[in-house]
């Protein structure tokens, strides 16, 4: 996903959901308090907050595809 577009969408209040089949994980990105928070979730598990410097988070942001909230919640 284009990083500039992603950042602009987050700054206007959008929540971004991404899926990476290779990592078998989904990520939720939210912009709060002048920073982007990232949450990682594996199939059937609860999400956890991780820094964007986490390798899996980075891989999903760079190589994942955007999905809906419903798809994220169902993962």
Both tokens of residue 41? 């979730």
- Residue 3's pLDDT band (boundaries 50, 70, 90)? confident
- Distance, in Å, from the CA atom of 16 to the CA atom of 36, rounded to the nearest integer, reads 11
pLDDT tens for residues 15-59? 999 999 998 999 999 999 999 999 999 999 999 999 999 999 999
- Distance, in Å, from the CA atom of 31 to the CA atom of 11, rounded to the nearest integer, reads 6
The pTM for the full model equals 0.92
- The two counts, helices (H) then strands (E), for the chain are 3, 5
């Amino acid at each position: 996903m284009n990083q500039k577009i992603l950042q602009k969408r987050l700054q206007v209040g959008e929540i971004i959901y991404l899926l990476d089949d290779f990592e078998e994980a989904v990520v939720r990105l939210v912009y709060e308090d002048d920073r982007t928070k990232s949450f990682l979730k594996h199939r059937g598990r609860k999400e956890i907050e991780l820094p964007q410097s986490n390798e899996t988070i980075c891989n999903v942001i760079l190589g994942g595809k955007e999905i809906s909230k419903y798809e994220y919640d169902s993962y």
